Amino acid sequence: MLTSKQRAFLSGLASKIDPIFQIGKGGITDTLASEISLALDARELVKIKVLNNSLLDARECAVELAQKTGSEVVAVIGSRFVLYRKSEKDPKIILPKEN
C-alpha cells in the first residue's frame, strides 16, 4: 500500500514519461494485461491512456488492470492513469520512507 508521500513522488516521476499503452474499444484483454505486467517488470512505473472509443473510463481501467497485474494505481488524471509495481529482481525506483 502506497502512502500519499510515495504517490506524490511516483506522480512526479510519471509526469515525465509518455503513455506506452492505449486502451480502446477492445477493452482490457488478457494479452494487454500480460504485456502491461511485463512492462511493469521492466520499468516499475507505467502510464496508460484510455481512448475516447473505450467503453470503460480511466478509473475503471486502472482498478481492473491493477488487480490483474498485482500493481497499485498511483494516479488517474483525465484519460490517463499510472500503475506501479516494485520489481522483485531489479528495483529501479526507491520510494521515500514513511515519516
Integer CA distances (angstroms), 24 to 21, 59, 68, 72, 85, in order:
10, 14, 18, 21, 23
CA distance linking residue 53 with residue 15, whole number of Å = 24
Question: Domain-by-domain residue ranges, the chain?
Answer: 4-84
Answer whether CATH 3.40.50.300 is correct for domain 4-84.
no
Q: Are 13 and 45 in contact (CB under 8 A)?
A: yes
Q: Are 21 and 35 in contact (CB under 8 A)?
A: yes
99 pLDDT more than 80: no
pLDDT in tens, 39-83: 999 999 999 999 999 999 999 999 999 999 999 999 999 999 999
Q: Are 87 and 44 in contact (CB under 8 A)?
A: yes
Average confidence (pLDDT) over 20-40: 96
Per-residue confidence at 89, pLDDT binned at 50, 70, 90?
confident
Which amino acid is present at 11?
S
Residues β-bridged to residue 82: 47, 75
Q: What pLDDT does 90 receive? A: 86
CA distance linking residue 53 with residue 9, whole number of Å = 31
Per-residue confidence at 23, pLDDT binned at 50, 70, 90?
very high
Q: What is the pTM of this model?
A: 0.94
